[in-house]
Amino acid sequence: MEIVWTNIIFSIAAFAILYFLLSKYAFSKLFAVMEKRRELVMQQMDEAAKTREQAVAYVEEQKQALNNARQEAQVIIQQSQITSSQQVDRILEQAKADATRVKDEAVRDIENEKKKAVEELRSEIGTASVRIASKLLQKEVHMSGEQEQLVDQYLKEVGGRS
């Protein structure tokens, strides 16, 4: 195989002319387009970094908001527990007061009924004692005001002693 020097020289010359023409007309435009593309890519990378930083900041804000909401929920729960315990205490106090009132009323009613029963019993005892006395004496006892007063006085004396 033989080296043809003339072909090599023509090829180098053609390449040099082509390189000169490309550098004069095409490379500057091609490099400008590539530079614009590089700037666009860099700008997009900067925007992506900013967006990522904003996303991280937003996530942190959301975490903080969630923590605040949890704390507020805890405060609300504690307040509701305090309020409910206060209501329970109030209801218990009211129930105790009502029970005491009902008990006092019942005691008063019992005392009134006892007094009524004692008075009825005295009246019946007075009537029964008059009947017994009349049967014992075999005479008719007239129910006059004096005799009835004597019986009531006797019953009061007997009732006062017991």
Query: What would the pLDDT profile of 3-50 be if each residue is shown by its tens digit?
Result: 888 999 999 999 999 999 988 888 888 888 999 999 999 999 999 999
Output the average pLDDT for the chain.
86
Q: What is the pTM of this model?
A: 0.42
- 145: Cβ–Cβ under 8 A, 6 or more apart, which residues? none
Distance between start and end Cα atoms, the chain:
158
Higher pLDDT, 159 or 89: 89
pLDDT of residue 89: 93
SS (H, E, C) 97-108: HHHHHHHHHHHH
pLDDT band at 140 (very low <50, low <70, confident <90, very high): very low
pLDDT band at 139 (very low <50, low <70, confident <90, very high): very low
pLDDT band at 136 (very low <50, low <70, confident <90, very high): low
Residue 154 near residue 127, CB atoms below 8 Å: no
pLDDT of residue 125: 80
Residue 116 near residue 146, CB atoms below 8 Å: no
95-108 average pLDDT score: 93
pLDDT of residue 110: 94
- Determine which of 5-9, 34-38, 84-88, 151-155 has the lowest per-residue pLDDT on average: 151-155
- Rounded-to-integer distance, Cα 35 and Cα 29, Å: 10
pLDDT band at 155 (very low <50, low <70, confident <90, very high): confident
CA atoms within 13 A on the CB side of 53: 6
- 133: Cβ–Cβ under 8 A, 6 or more apart, which residues? 141
